[in-house]
Amino acid sequence: MSGEEDPIQRALSGFSLYTLGDGLRQGTSIAVVGKELERYEVGPATVVIANDGGVGRYVAVEPSLTEREKERLSRLLDHLFMSISPEDAADPSKRLIPNMVEAARSLGFLEEVTRSLQKYEYYVKRELKGYGRLDVLMNDFNIEDIKCTGHGRPVVVLHKNHSELGWIRTNVVFPTEEDAQETTQKMLQRCGTMATNAMPIVDARTPTNDRVAVRWSTDVSMTGTAFTIRKFPAEPMPITALVMLNTVSPLMVAYLWLMLEARGFALIVGPTGSGKTTFMNTLASLINPNAAVCTIEDNPELRLSHDVWDQLTSRHSYSIGQSGLEITLQDLVKHSLRLTPDFVIVGEVRGEEVAALINSAASGHGALTSLHSDSVQNVMIRMSAPPMLVPTGNMMLIWAFVVMNRVRREHGRVVRRVLSITELDPRKGGFDLKEMFTYNMVDDTFSPAAPEELVRMKTERLQQVMRLFGWDEKQLETELGERASYIEMMVANKLLTLSEVGEAVRKFYIRKYGLAG
Ligand SMILES: Nc1ncnc2c1ncn2[C@@H]1O[C@H](COP(=O)(O)OP(=O)(O)O)[C@@H](O)[C@H]1O
Ligand SMILES: [Mg+2]
């Protein structure tokens, strides 16, 4: 197909300032190249996903504007921008529409605006409150990551339902460096910060917790202003979703659940985007709702429903030379000991804080954290070297490593799997690493699948659990089976929201212990 006939190419080359969908809408139908895979609405916009000979296409079609309407909109925006009052500037969404109507009246085209009010409303909101040209992508819950590698190139996205397509080309393009800068600066404004030539690298968070990493202009980026956005899921996935997606088996969850209840220490290992934080959140949601939980993070991502929840976040220095004002994860881990927590969860450990956390676990609370790595062996190597420097004796306080990763399955589909759970088994004069669960790539299953097989391994951690609760092997097997069945029941009953799962977990504890923490 030649570039001339390709409606996406046409849309890419002929972008107007305010619409994405120009040239794509033909009457009420949308012309798309390739095989259409999915079509849905994001607010008033329509999104079409297509496979164009192995290249993923994401076409966002926004309400279309005539040339005259574009001109009107441009003047409206200028007027609104100039006349914005200090109160409205603090929260531009307030009075946005009354102000727009007022602006249209003073500019003398109120009637025209009233006739297409919804369209104007959409674009005024998009520009003054939203993310401009990125608005559809930012509002599309199916998108996990957004990446712009420079102007003149399509913005690309990772899509939840189409992982097999990898980075999907969207019809959002910034024709010039100025366009890229305008939208980037708008986005950073929403994050309460800005990029400058003096500070060309910016890491920021939107009000809805999406992570934004910006490279400003050409000093540090050969292709000019560029950015990557890691979107924060609207609602974290509950444990039932992870089981349904076959990320982990009910028995594995039961095992980790029991370990946590016995105040063990589990470390989740995996590369970025492998699902560590998500899995940690689901495990945390199985903790007794009456327990005191303390979370420690650089950026608040964990979402718990516990009432007794100390949610701590680190503080970065405001400017160079003020490092004395920093409060690090390590400081917070040390501080957490005085909060008498039942559980301490550190979002992600990178340095000295891991030694502090392991050390603090000796005082008897349960602990959960994640670490960026790809295997247990590499974790062991990193932990014994600076900056972590965990003494070998303290290593023993870790109960289990959970290794996660993305795995490519049939038709190139990318899924997340717990590849292994390994126990750190203390022995005289050292420790063994004992693989408790493994993932079988061939048939996409996990083994062992039965509680008795697990119990038969007779590891030190399982013995510890039995001693703590006063169980024999039979009882341990029953407990594991009961928890695995409970998770299966939640899946069977399609409890797919966090609150439904939370309620079911609460019932579990009431039935079991009468809910005492
Ligand atoms: N088991 C899973 N199956 C499918 N998608 C997942 C799964 N776990 C996480 N995700 C999605 O993957 C993205 C990255 O997950 P996250 O937990 O933040 O990874 P990490 O902490 O390892 O960087 C999120 O958008 C999340 O919704
Ligand atoms: Mg994470």
pLDDT bin (cut points 50, 70, 90) of residue 53 is confident
CATH code of residue 181: 3.30.450.380
| Ligand 1: nearest atom to the Cα of 272 | 23
In-domain check, residue 136: yes
Q: Which residues make Cβ contacts (< 8 Å) with residue 102, sequence separation at least 6?
A: none
pLDDT bin (cut points 50, 70, 90) of residue 316 is confident
Whether 223 and 332 map to the same domain: the answer is: no
In-domain check, residue 219: yes
Ligand 1 centroid–CA 210 distance in Å is 13
| Ligand 1 neighbour 275 (Cβ under 6 A) | yes
Q: Which ligand is nearest to the CA of 404?
A: 1
Whether 225 and 244 map to the same domain: the answer is: no
Ligand 2 centroid–CA 200 distance in Å is 25
Ligand 2 centroid–CA 277 distance in Å is 4
In-domain check, residue 13: no
Whether 206 and 345 map to the same domain: the answer is: no
Tokens 């994640």 belong to residue: 370
Whether 135 and 169 map to the same domain: the answer is: yes
Report H helices in 129-213: 135-139, 177-190
| Residue after which a domain boundary falls, among 201, 217, 234 | 234
In-domain check, residue 25: no
Q: Which residues make Cβ contacts (< 8 Å) with residue 184, sequence separation at least 6?
A: 195, 214, 216, 225, 227
Average pLDDT over residues 53-65: 89
Q: What is the pLDDT of residue 24?
A: 40
CATH code of residue 487: 3.40.50.300
| Ligand 1: nearest atom to the Cα of 232 | 25
Report H helices in 326-388: 329-336, 353-361, 376-384
Whether 290 and 183 map to the same domain: the answer is: no
Grouping H, G, I as helix, E, B as strand and the rest as coil, residue 481 is helix
pLDDT at 70 over 60: yes
Average pLDDT over residues 222-234: 95
| Ligand 1 neighbour 365 (Cβ under 6 A) | no
Mutation test of ligand 1: which of 229, 278, 301 has the most ligand atoms closer than 8 Å to its C-beta?
278
pLDDT at 156 over 60: yes
Average pLDDT over residues 59-74: 90
CA–CA gap between residue 123 and residue 117 (Å, rounded): 10
Look up residue 29 and give its amino acid. Answer: S
Whether 224 and 341 map to the same domain: the answer is: no
Whether 195 and 334 map to the same domain: the answer is: no
| Residue after which a domain boundary falls, among 234, 263, 278 | 234
CA–CA gap between residue 467 and residue 229 (Å, rounded): 47
The pLDDT tens digits of the residues spanning 16-28 come to 322 333 334 333 3
Whether 135 and 226 map to the same domain: the answer is: yes
Q: What is the pLDDT of residue 52?
A: 87
Q: Which ligand is nearest to the CA of 279?
A: 1
| Ligand 1 neighbour 274 (Cβ under 6 A) | yes
| Ligand 1 neighbour 242 (Cβ under 6 A) | yes
Average pLDDT over residues 280-291: 96
Whether 243 and 227 map to the same domain: the answer is: no
Domain that holds residue 506: 239-513
| Ligand 1 neighbour 295 (Cβ under 6 A) | no
CA–CA gap between residue 383 and residue 354 (Å, rounded): 8
Q: Which ligand is nearest to the CA of 406?
A: 1
Ligand 1 centroid–CA 359 distance in Å is 29
Reading the block at residue 37, the tokens are 């895979």
Look up residue 89 and give its amino acid. Answer: A
| Structural domains in the chain (count) | 2
Average pLDDT over residues 282-307: 95
Q: What is the 3-state secondary structure (H, E, C) of 283-308?
A: HHCCCCCCCCEEEEECCCCCCCCCCC
Whether 325 and 465 map to the same domain: the answer is: yes
Pairing of strands 35-42, 45-52: antiparallel
In-domain check, residue 34: no
Average pLDDT over residues 459-471: 95
| Ligand 1 neighbour 276 (Cβ under 6 A) | yes
Residue 15's alpha-carbon distances to 151, 173, 227, 399, in angstroms, are 13, 8, 20, 56
What average pLDDT does the structure give for the chain? Answer: 89
| Residue after which a domain boundary falls, among 234, 268, 296 | 234
Ligand 1 centroid–CA 278 distance in Å is 6
pLDDT at 411 over 70: yes
**Phi and psi (nearest 5°) for 165?**
-85, -5
| Ligand 1 neighbour 281 (Cβ under 6 A) | no
pLDDT at 517 over 70: no
Query: 404 exposed, middle or buried (CB, 10 Å; 0-12, 13-18, 19+)?
Result: buried
Q: Which residues make Cβ contacts (< 8 Å) with residue 439, sequence separation at least 6?
A: 407, 417, 418, 419, 420, 445, 446
**Torsion-angle region of residue 54: left (phi > 0), alpha (psi -120 to 50) or beta?**
left
In-domain check, residue 412: yes
Contact by Cβ (8 Å): 280, 302 = yes
Give the percent of the chain with pLDDT over 70.
89
In-domain check, residue 142: yes
| Ligand 1 neighbour 416 (Cβ under 6 A) | yes
In-domain check, residue 413: yes
End-to-end CA distance of the chain: 66
Whether 166 and 309 map to the same domain: the answer is: no
Ligand 1 centroid–CA 141 distance in Å is 13
Q: What is the pLDDT of residue 236?
A: 87
Whether 150 and 131 map to the same domain: the answer is: yes
| Ligand 1 neighbour 169 (Cβ under 6 A) | no
Give the percent of the chain with pLDDT over 90.
77
